[in-house]
Amino acid sequence: MDLFLKILGLVFIVIAIMITFSLKKEVKNLDSPVLHRSITNRWTKRSKTSTIFMGLGCICVLIGLILSM
């Protein structure tokens, strides 16, 4: 069970990092300095999703570490 939680946590963390890097690539590829409102809303939603995944990943890894002691 502890190994499963560690792996699940690492998967969540990797997904969060991938979302964050895709957001950074979109910002670099943006031509206009003015952000369109729909783009800003999409980035905000993806940023919140990334934060949630990172939190879930950290919690799962910590629980897995505690259970393995």
Reported as a single tens digit per residue, the pLDDT across 2-11 is 888 899 999 9
| pLDDT at residue 10, rounded to an integer | 92
Buried b (16+ CB within 10 A) or exposed e, 15-53: bbeebbeeeeeeeeeeeeeeeeeeeeeeeeeeeeebeeb
Reported as a single tens digit per residue, the pLDDT across 35-53 is 666 677 777 888 888 899 9
Reported as a single tens digit per residue, the pLDDT across 24-39 is 777 666 666 666 666 7
Cα–Cα–Cα angle for 38, 42, 46, rounded to 5 degrees: 170
For every residue of 18-53, which 3-state class applies, written as one string?
HHHHHHHHHHHHCCCCCCCHHHHHHHHHHHHHHHHH
